[in-house]
Amino acid sequence: MGADSTGQLKALPSSSWYGGTAIKWRFSILVGLTGLVALMWAVPADALVWALGGSALGFFSTALGAMLVLLPGRYNQRFLELSLGLSGGMMLAAAVFSLLLPAIDTATEIFPAFYAHLAVILATLAGAWVMCVIERHVPHGHPVAGDTGPGHRQLSRLWLFVLAIALHNLPEGIAVGVSFSGADRHLGSSVSLAIALQDFPEGFAMAVVLLRLGLSVWKAVGWSLLAGLLEPLGAVIGVFLGGVADFAYPLSLALSAGAMLFVVIHEVIPEVQSPHTSRLSMQGTMTLLGGFLLLWFLDSQAFVSLLS
């Protein structure tokens, strides 16, 4: 399927589904799934179980957010940008407070302080660079910025947005997997909760985008759930990366943080800076800041002591 000038879906030639770029991506997905199954045999079973449980929490949070579109109402550009802003702010806080700071703390236990900070900085840049390479080679779509990537004209807007969602969910799943690959299960639980909290508005934003492409409500929810399965798959990769060696654990945390920071800065922030009106742009900015502060507070010791 493809999109016409009204933004509705229309039929594409069968070659868009069965030839060229589509076949390459289907083959790549098959090879990737085979590799993930092999990785599951190479990681500790207890860490894998915890990581899959933590990523499942994010999946269910995505599902709940997507199901909000089942409620009666009209979801316009404002709903989309505010939910993206809230999700992006929470994702930014999760990267900083749940990944970067623990990475520095753990790295200083292994390396001298200067080299620990330098290693974390380089790993963070490496994570952003990996996402940059993926973003340049994977065709995907944005609600405001439009479609990009090689071969994006040969794929329907539905698949382009599903691939864009995958670019968001995969580093989140990797972050959960890495956090459970170490001995500190409390860190894994904290990261899982932080990711799950930001997955709720993200799931809603996914479903709204798909609704605006012309899908029915149930199809929008279904595709959002399917894209949410990328988190458990990413968790398997994360457990493997973090468990390679002791020094790999903090570096993998920083790598995941860099990937998430890239997604927020490159993908989310331009979307919430709406080109339509300065008022919507300001609302998106304040919602992003509110999401950042909300997750920072929920992840703080002050909030934990309040509950205890």
> What pLDDT shows up at residue 39?
58
Q: Which of 56, 48, 31 is nearest to 230 (CA)?
A: 56
Question: Would you place residue 125 in the very low, low, confident or very high pLDDT band (cuts 50, 70, 90)?
Answer: very high
Using an 8 Å Cβ cutoff, are 228 and 203 in contact?
Answer: yes
Question: Would you place residue 7 in the very low, low, confident or very high pLDDT band (cuts 50, 70, 90)?
Answer: very low
Question: Would you place residue 2 in the very low, low, confident or very high pLDDT band (cuts 50, 70, 90)?
Answer: very low
Encode pLDDT of 259-278 as tens digits: 889 888 887 787 777 655 55
Q: Is the pLDDT of residue 84 over 80?
A: no
Encode pLDDT of 15-35 as tens digits: 444 445 555 555 555 555 555
To which H or E segment does residue 148 belong?
strand 146-148
Cα dist from 116 to 17, 94, 177, whole Å: 48, 20, 22
Q: Residue ranges per domain, the chain? A: 47-300
Lookup: tokens for 78: 């404002």
Which residue in the block uniquely carries the two structure tokens 């999946």?
59
Identify residue 155 by its one-letter amino acid code. L
Helices 185-212 and 77-93 pack at an angle, to 10 degrees, of 160
Lookup: tokens for 221: 């929810």
Using an 8 Å Cβ cutoff, are 202 and 87 in contact?
Answer: yes
What is the C-alpha to C-alpha distance for residues 2 and 4, in angstroms, rounded to an integer? Answer: 7
Using an 8 Å Cβ cutoff, are 156 and 9 in contact?
Answer: yes
Identify residue 299 by its one-letter amino acid code. D
282's CB contacts (< 8 A; 6+ apart) are: none
Cβ-count burial 215-251 (b if 16+ within 10 Å, e if not): beeeebbebbbebbbbbbbbbbbbbbbbbeeeebbbb
What is the C-alpha to C-alpha distance for residues 151 and 16, in angstroms, rounded to an integer? Answer: 10
Average pLDDT on 114-141 reads: 85
- What is the overall mean pLDDT for the chain? 76
Terminal-residue alpha carbon distance, the chain: 52
Average pLDDT on 224-253 reads: 84
